[in-house]
Chains A and B, each alone.
Chain A
Amino acid sequence: MSTQASTIQSVAPQGTATRRIVMGLVFLGLAAAIWFLFANTTQADLVTTFTLNPGGSQFNFPNLGFTTLPVLHALASACALIGAFQLARGFGRSTNAVLGLVAALFIFAFLSWVASGTSLNLAGLLRATLIRAVPITLGALSGILCERAGVVNIAIEGMMLTSAMVAAIFGSLYGLWVGLLAGVLAGGLLAVVHAILSIKYKTDQIVSGTVINIFSIGITSFISAKFLASYRYLNNPGIFSDIQIPGLVDIPFLGPILFSHNIFFFGMVVFLVLLHFGLFFTRWGLRLRSVGEHPKAADTLGINVFRTRYMAVILGGMMAGFGGAYFTLGSVGRFDEVMTAGRGFIGLAAMIFGNWNPFGAFGAGLLFGFADMLAARLAILGVRVPSEFLLMAPYVATMIVLAGVVGRGQMPAADGQPYEKEGH
């Protein structure tokens, strides 16, 4: 019949088939990597020892020791099997979870290989990973706040850097808490600049972010060279000491890893949960996300697009400010020029990797933090892998995600587009 609705159905399955095969090949590739890179270079009699004692705990776990080679072979086989199944049938919806599993197997194989013939403190690694994930995750949360509302923020790096310095100065003069507050406000202040440039003046948001990045590098180095170098007392804030959560910290193994950190770690956890809850379960979040997805639709329903964006960007800046303060007040105890060293950009990558979701970003932050931590320790362990390649992993992974190989992310639809009201 001529009026029959005609729907073409040939579009969907093709893409998923390609993806299934690509993923299968990735799994097989990882299996092959375990086999050839790790197993092939391991002597048969070597033993891997993992220390499971994080220290500071009464319970002492026995060390985990095993002969390396058979375990590597088992891990390679497991990856290969999963890969074969993925090629043949596919895991459908749970593909991403399986990818996570394979990645975990690969990492375990890698660690076993690294620790073959020696011992590695697994608990220490985990704790260090969590700590390294803090600034990355905070940067990512800052990005999520801005971009969920439709404003691209590549200035996270600059905001972090500035607030690191401000926090150090105010922390030195008036104490750690004032320093922290000042750092947060500094981040917020730069965000105001970003917001005015990109929302009011509709400057390209990348350009506006670049302005802030250049400015931040300049002003922090300027002040550092002009004042901090000669007046040492301005740059000696000390650091927040660790807080032991009573009760929880006594949990064997996990307690010291999870519940003995400074304010920044716990702050990150709180913000993570708050932001997730806020974004997805409150009116505030619904409106914020609507402005990032379809500002015009939000406008027709009486939501003030501009105000919402200002609010989101400024909060995002304050989040970056909190993350920036970590560098001086939570980690090093003094400000050094360009000390953020690209963590803000890794935060941006973590945001994309985590699909603009707080917990996704935290997961990515952990992964990137792990790479970061491992790179620092490989040298100490005297391992044969150049640590620089590990440090590249986050960037390469982000590019792969962005290319849609692992399934395209759900970027806010109006991200980067200034909103213009019509007809006035």
Chain B
Amino acid sequence: MPPVLELRNITKRFPGVLANDHIDLTLNRGEIHALLGENGAGKTTLMNILYGLYQPDEGEIFINGQKAEIHSPTDAINLGVGMVHQHFMLIPVFTVTENVMLGSESLQLGGVLDRKAAAERIREISEAYGLAVNPDDHIRDLPVGGQQRVEIIKLLYREADILILDEPTAVLTPQEADELFRIMHSLTERGKSIIFITHKLREVLDIADRITVIRRGKVVGSTTPKQANQSKLAAMMVGREVDLSVHKRAAKLGAAVLQVQDLKVADDRGQLAVDGVSFAVQAGEVLGIAGVQGNGQTELVEALTGLRSTHAGSIRLLDEDITRADPRRITELGSAHIPEDRQRDGLVLNFPVADNLVLNTYYQAPFSKGAVLQQNTISEVARERVSKFDIRTPGVETHASSLSGGNQQKVIVARELSRPVKLVVASQPTRGLDVGSIEYIHGRLIESRDSGVGVLLVSSELDEIMQLSDRIAVIYRGKIVDVLPAKGASKEKIGLLMAGVVQKGAKASPKVAAKKKAVTKKTAKKVAKKKAATKTTRPTKRRKDS
């Protein structure tokens, strides 16, 4: 019997990026095939090709041994391919029935919707696969886990045999994730095949039948959970060939510049993303926050920089309480922020480099006198900084948008480190940059540390964390599971901590691996129900100024 699905030699180029580089993949009937890789490795692109949202530049797709032409989602649906997107494709104001039937509606005479018939089929599907949903609920009233069940029902309603789940656990609570895994098994038992995209090692080992690891658009290897372990997978996923060694002297520690006590921060959905975190950054050290993305790092950094309001706990910068301070106050106290999303938060792309270099100091002397900007000073200082920080730009009047990613980031680094700062909060400072820029930015961060500045480095790149940090705090599901000195810490050990596996009775450990089996069907359902009852509020943005 041929495999249900075979991808041969799939290649997709985007301007400047080779997103998929001759990828081969097979999927057998009744199998859960995990596609593992870091963010930006090309997993989602591959699946969008399979689902007809993108067209491949090269390569072929075979379904049940037959060559398939997939030009649109409609083609994919007709061929039995269904996809649950990372960002749900659900319409909040529609009911479950309406969402499920949309595009393949049950009709009565004259184009009139037959909601009853559709709801009946949804009930049948939901019973057959143990997907608890009420067809008459509105999506906006469902918890995320329930929304995901609706997405899966959407596929089953269209009789999809090949189910693509793109990062399905990224938005789920642990209980919801366990429930999802149970559902996935019940799907494969009934002959469905699943491609499971993730970057979470534990999940892969728990649930997959086979694992394919992708890095930078290429397949780096295939394995099975029996042959692999977390550290081996981590190594495959992260890769070792990039080994930018950073030379640094021993840390000269000073007083604490940043003290965080029992901090709790909610995410946009109103869930606690940072759940009782305490740590301190001392002058002259780099504290690295390691963790798989989506474990509360973004919310933590936003809270520290005044961009997100805190739920509980306190933050002190030097001797000042900044728990409720606004971004300007925190900046003025001497905190530098290299934001995670440099194009959204860190730069105004339509502004010249010079203006971007004074984006948060424009109102101070010497850049302003009274109400008037001192353009000559700004240009002059900008030129100085451009040469000092090796920003490759035709001139300081060039718009930031026409700079390369590395030079854009250097603009931010130049702006932030040119001030007399005491603390640098650097969030994913080298994501997506070329090797030269990475090296440069690492050097600058270490330089700051050596000059007595406290550096908080948040990164999901383990190598980066290990090279730069003096101490490493590992964050997992909004909690710091361990803090250990960088010297002597092994990549394997931190990788395990990042996956939530805590050895030797470390404190406050979420013993997930052990717990997983204990979650019975019944309790999982109960939790889901409780969540449905409590979380009826719409997700609210919790940014301070909005």
User: Could you tell me if B48 and A410 are in contact, using CB atoms closer than 8 angstroms?
Assistant: no
Which of A7, A284, A300 contacts B535, CB < 8 Å?
A7
Which of B89, B102, B107, B271 contacts A8, CB < 8 Å?
B271
Which of B93, B94, B275 contacts A6, CB < 8 Å?
B275
Interface residues of A in 291-307 (CB under 8 A from B): 293-294, 296-303
Which of A282, A294, A422 contacts B89, CB < 8 Å?
A294
Chain A residue with minimal CB distance to B45?
Answer: A423
Q: How close is A358's CB to chain B, nearest CB, in angstroms?
A: 16
Interface membership of B173, Cβ < 8 A: yes
How distant is the Cα of A48 from the Cα of B436 in the complex, in angstroms? 88
Which of B72, B91, B534 contacts A297, CB < 8 Å?
B91
Take A2-B508, A2-B509 as given contacts and tell me if A298 and B272 are in contact as well, using a CB distance cutoff of 8 Å: no
Of the candidates A5, A284, A294, the one having the most CB atoms from chain B within 10 angstroms of its own CB is A5
Chain B residue numbers with a CB within 8 Å of A289 are 91, 94
Take A5-B175, A12-B537 as given contacts and tell me if A296 and B89 are in contact as well, using a CB distance cutoff of 8 Å: yes
Chain B residue with minimal CB distance to A287?
Answer: B102
Take A301-B102, A303-B103, A423-B54 as given contacts and tell me if A290 and B72 are in contact as well, using a CB distance cutoff of 8 Å: no
User: Could you tell me if A7 and B85 are in contact, using CB atoms closer than 8 angstroms?
Assistant: no
Take A294-B91, A423-B55, A424-B55 as given contacts and tell me if A303 and B102 are in contact as well, using a CB distance cutoff of 8 Å: yes
User: Could you tell me if A3 and B105 are in contact, using CB atoms closer than 8 angstroms?
Assistant: no
How distant is the Cα of A226 from the Cα of B117 in the complex, in angstroms? 60
How distant is the Cα of A3 from the Cα of B275 in the complex, in angstroms? 10
Take A5-B527, A293-B93, A422-B53 as given contacts and tell me if A11 and B111 are in contact as well, using a CB distance cutoff of 8 Å: no
Q: Mark A276-294, 1 if CB is under 8 A from B, else 0.
A: 0000011110110110011
User: Could you tell me if A12 and B113 are in contact, using CB atoms closer than 8 angstroms?
Assistant: no
Interface membership of A263, Cβ < 8 A: no
Chain A residue numbers with a CB within 8 Å of B537 are 9, 11-12
Interface membership of B121, Cβ < 8 A: no
Chain A residue numbers with a CB within 8 Å of B102 are 286-287, 290, 297-298, 301, 303
Take A11-B540, A294-B90, A299-B73 as given contacts and tell me if A6 and B54 are in contact as well, using a CB distance cutoff of 8 Å: no
User: Could you tell me if B271 and A6 are in contact, using CB atoms closer than 8 angstroms?
Assistant: yes
Chain A residue numbers with a CB within 8 Å of B272 are 6-8
User: Interface extent on B, as a size class?
Assistant: 35 or more
Q: How close is B228's CB to chain A, nearest CB, in angstroms?
A: 25
Interface membership of A338, Cβ < 8 A: no
How distant is the Cα of A221 from the Cα of B313 in the complex, in angstroms? 67
Take A7-B531, A286-B102 as given contacts and tell me if A293 and B94 are in contact as well, using a CB distance cutoff of 8 Å: yes
How distant is the Cα of A303 from the Cα of B275 in the complex, in angstroms? 42
Interface membership of B504, Cβ < 8 A: no
How distant is the Cα of A7 from the Cα of B270 in the complex, in angstroms? 7
Chain B residue numbers with a CB within 8 Å of A301 are 73, 77, 89, 102-104, 154
Chain A residue with minimal CB distance to B174?
Answer: A3
Chain B residue numbers with a CB within 8 Å of A298 are 102-103
Interface membership of B266, Cβ < 8 A: yes
User: Could you tell me if B540 and A282 are in contact, using CB atoms closer than 8 angstroms?
Assistant: no
How distant is the Cα of A3 from the Cα of B266 in the complex, in angstroms? 16
Q: Mark B28-52, 1 if CB is under 8 A from A, else 0.
A: 0000000000000000000010010
Interface residues of B in 101-143 (CB under 8 A from A): 101-105, 107, 110-113
User: Could you tell me if B270 and A11 are in contact, using CB atoms closer than 8 angstroms?
Assistant: yes
Interface membership of B355, Cβ < 8 A: no
How distant is the Cα of A8 from the Cα of B267 in the complex, in angstroms? 10
Chain B residue numbers with a CB within 8 Å of A287 are 102-103
Take A282-B111, A294-B91, A301-B102 as given contacts and tell me if A423 and B271 are in contact as well, using a CB distance cutoff of 8 Å: no
How distant is the Cα of A270 from the Cα of B98 in the complex, in angstroms? 26
User: Could you tell me if A5 and B48 are in contact, using CB atoms closer than 8 angstroms?
Assistant: no
Of the candidates B90, B91, B173, B534, the one having the most CB atoms from chain A within 10 angstroms of its own CB is B91
Take A5-B173, A5-B527, A290-B102 as given contacts and tell me if A297 and B271 are in contact as well, using a CB distance cutoff of 8 Å: no
Q: How close is B518's CB to chain A, nearest CB, in angstroms?
A: 11
Q: How close is A154's CB to chain B, nearest CB, in angstroms?
A: 23
Q: Mark A39-56, 1 if CB is under 8 A from B, else 0.
A: 000000000000000000
How distant is the Cα of A421 from the Cα of B270 in the complex, in angstroms? 31
Q: How close is A24's CB to chain B, nearest CB, in angstroms?
A: 23
Take A5-B175, A301-B73, A302-B73 as given contacts and tell me if A283 and B54 are in contact as well, using a CB distance cutoff of 8 Å: no
Q: Mark B387-430, 1 if CB is under 8 A from A, else 0.
A: 00000000000000000000000000000000000000000000
How distant is the Cα of A302 from the Cα of B71 in the complex, in angstroms? 11
User: Could you tell me if A290 and B175 are in contact, using CB atoms closer than 8 angstroms?
Assistant: no
Chain A residue numbers with a CB within 8 Å of B105 are 283, 286
Chain B residue numbers with a CB within 8 Å of A290 are 91, 94, 102
Chain B residue numbers with a CB within 8 Å of A299 are 73
Chain A residue with minimal CB distance to B78?
Answer: A302
Interface membership of B281, Cβ < 8 A: no
Q: How close is A393's CB to chain B, nearest CB, in angstroms?
A: 29
Interface membership of A21, Cβ < 8 A: no
How distant is the Cα of A423 from the Cα of B73 in the complex, in angstroms? 13
How distant is the Cα of A424 from the Cα of B515 in the complex, in angstroms? 45
Interface membership of A413, Cβ < 8 A: yes
Which of B48, B103, B527 contacts A302, CB < 8 Å?
B103
Interface membership of B536, Cβ < 8 A: yes
User: Could you tell me if A3 and B111 are in contact, using CB atoms closer than 8 angstroms?
Assistant: no
Chain A residue with minimal CB distance to B176?
Answer: A5
Chain B residue with minimal CB distance to A301?
Answer: B103
Q: How close is B215's CB to chain A, nearest CB, in angstroms?
A: 22
Chain B residue numbers with a CB within 8 Å of A303 are 102-103
Chain A residue numbers with a CB within 8 Å of B93 are 293, 410, 413
How distant is the Cα of A120 from the Cα of B7 in the complex, in angstroms? 80
How distant is the Cα of A293 from the Cα of B103 in the complex, in angstroms? 14
Take A3-B477, A5-B527, A6-B272 as given contacts and tell me if A282 and B112 are in contact as well, using a CB distance cutoff of 8 Å: yes
Interface residues of A in 380-424 (CB under 8 A from B): 410, 413, 422-424
User: Could you tell me if B510 and A5 are in contact, using CB atoms closer than 8 angstroms?
Assistant: no
Take A290-B102, A422-B54 as given contacts and tell me if A283 and B113 are in contact as well, using a CB distance cutoff of 8 Å: yes
User: Could you tell me if B53 and A302 are in contact, using CB atoms closer than 8 angstroms?
Assistant: no
Chain A residue with minimal CB distance to B272?
Answer: A6
User: Could you tell me if A9 and B534 are in contact, using CB atoms closer than 8 angstroms?
Assistant: yes
User: Could you tell me if B112 and A281 are in contact, using CB atoms closer than 8 angstroms?
Assistant: yes
Q: How close is A152's CB to chain B, nearest CB, in angstroms?
A: 18
User: Could you tell me if A5 and B55 are in contact, using CB atoms closer than 8 angstroms?
Assistant: no
Chain A residue numbers with a CB within 8 Å of B525 are none
Interface residues of B in 204-249 (CB under 8 A from A): none
User: Could you tell me if A3 and B113 are in contact, using CB atoms closer than 8 angstroms?
Assistant: no
Chain A residue numbers with a CB within 8 Å of B180 are none
Interface membership of B152, Cβ < 8 A: no
Chain A residue numbers with a CB within 8 Å of B192 are none
Q: How close is B96's CB to chain A, nearest CB, in angstroms?
A: 13
User: Could you tell me if A413 and B174 are in contact, using CB atoms closer than 8 angstroms?
Assistant: no
Q: How close is B497's CB to chain A, nearest CB, in angstroms?
A: 14
User: Could you tell me if A5 and B271 are in contact, using CB atoms closer than 8 angstroms?
Assistant: yes
Chain B residue numbers with a CB within 8 Å of A424 are 54-55
How distant is the Cα of A293 from the Cα of B111 in the complex, in angstroms? 21
User: Could you tell me if A297 and B112 are in contact, using CB atoms closer than 8 angstroms?
Assistant: no
Q: Mark B142-174, 1 if CB is under 8 A from A, else 0.
A: 000000000000100000000000000000011
Interface membership of B479, Cβ < 8 A: yes
Take A297-B91, A302-B74 as given contacts and tell me if A3 and B512 are in contact as well, using a CB distance cutoff of 8 Å: yes
Interface membership of B544, Cβ < 8 A: no
Known interface pairs A5-B527, A8-B270, A301-B103; 19 further A-B residue pairs with C-beta atoms within 8 A, sorted by A's residue number? A2-B479, A3-B174, A3-B477, A5-B173, A5-B174, A6-B271, A7-B270, A11-B537, A283-B105, A286-B94, A289-B91, A290-B91, A297-B89, A301-B89, A302-B73, A302-B74, A303-B102, A413-B91, A423-B55
Q: Which 3 interchain pairs have the tightest Cβ spacing?
A: A301-B103, A302-B74, A423-B54
By a beta-carbon cutoff of 8 Å, the part of chain A in contact with chain B is 2-3, 5-9, 11-12, 281-284, 286-287, 289-290, 293-294, 296-303, 410, 413, 422-424
A sample of 21 inter-chain contacts (CB < 8 A) reads A2-B477, A2-B508, A3-B477, A8-B271, A8-B311, A9-B534, A9-B537, A286-B105, A286-B113, A287-B102, A287-B103, A293-B91, A293-B92, A293-B94, A297-B89, A298-B102, A298-B103, A300-B73, A301-B103, A413-B93, A424-B54
